[in-house]
Amino acid sequence: MKKVALAGTESLTNYIDALKENDIEVIATLDVDEAIKCDGLLLPGGGDIDPVYYGEEMNGSDEPDRELDKAQRDILDAFVKAKKPILGICRGMQLINIYFGGSLHQDLATRDIHTRKNDNDSIHSVKSVEEGNLFEKFYGKTFNINSAHHQGAKKIGKGLKEVLRSEDGVCEAVIHEELPIIATQFHPERMSYKQRRDDAVVGEEIFKYFKSLLK
C-alpha cells in the first residue's frame, strides 16, 4: 500500500478519508524525516502564510502560524528535492507557489466570491487556461468548484503553470512543468465520495490522478 505524508495539524479528516478511499495509507506528520519516507505528500488547507516568505509585510493576511509555515516548507523542500509527488490544496497550493518564487494577493478584492458563507463553501465557475491540461480532461473547459479562501496566487512561481482561472481572474490550479506536482486553490476533498455535491464537479478524479503518480 502506498503511503502519503499529510503535513497538517487540524481538520484533516476529509483529506484522510479521500486518500483512504484510494487505498492510500496516511501518515499525518510535520516531521521531515518521517514524512520523506512516504511515497507522496499532501499539503492541506489552513491559515495564512507569513508574507515574509514572499518579501512582503503583513497587509491583509491573518496572523500566521510561523512554526507550521517552517515545518511545511521544510517538508515541501525535501519532497521537491526527492522529486516525489506532491498535491497541494488551498493553503498547500499557496505554499507551493511561494516556494517556487511566487507571491500572493494577501486579501482579494473579490474575496466575497471565494469565502465561505454561513459555514458553507462558496460555489463559482472556473475555466481552463492551458489547452489539454489534466483538469480540462477531467471536467471540460468550464466547470463549477467549491471555494473557501480570501487569498490567491499573484505572481506564479518559476516552473509552475496556471491551468485554471476563476471569472474574476484568480488562479485556481497550477501544475509543475517538470516535477510531479499538482495543486488546487479549491478543495477537492470536500467534493469527493461521501461529500459529493450536485452543484460542483466530483473531486475524486484529482485524488485518483495523484495516486497514479505515486511510485
pLDDT in tens, 8-67: 988 899 999 999 999 999 999 999 999 999 999 999 999 999 999 999 999 999 999 999
Q: For position 188, what pLDDT does the model report? A: 98
Residues 167-186: what's their mean pLDDT?
97
- The CATH number assigned to the domain holding 67 equals 3.40.50.880
Determine which one of 105, 114, 176, 187 is catalytic. 187
Q: Identify the DSSP state of 193.
A: G
Concerning whether 136 is annotated as a catalytic residue, the answer is no
Provide the 3-class DSSP secondary structure of residue 114: helix
Q: Which residue has the cell 486579501?
A: 107
CA distance 168 to 101: 23
Q: Which amino acid is at 108?
A: L
In whole angstroms, what separates CA 171 from the centre of its chain?
Answer: 11
Q: Could you tell me the pLDDT band of residue 118, with boundaries at 50, 70 and 90?
A: confident
Q: Could you tell me the pLDDT band of residue 162, with boundaries at 50, 70 and 90?
A: very high
Concerning whether 189 is annotated as a catalytic residue, the answer is yes
Determine which one of 38, 124, 171, 189 is catalytic. 189
Q: Could you tell me the pLDDT band of residue 163, with boundaries at 50, 70 and 90?
A: very high
Concerning whether 171 is annotated as a catalytic residue, the answer is no
Count structural domains, the chain.
1
Determine which one of 38, 90, 105, 204 is catalytic. 90
Q: Structural domain of residue 123, as residue ranges?
A: 3-213
Q: For position 111, what pLDDT does the model report? A: 80
Q: What is the mean pLDDT of the chain?
A: 96
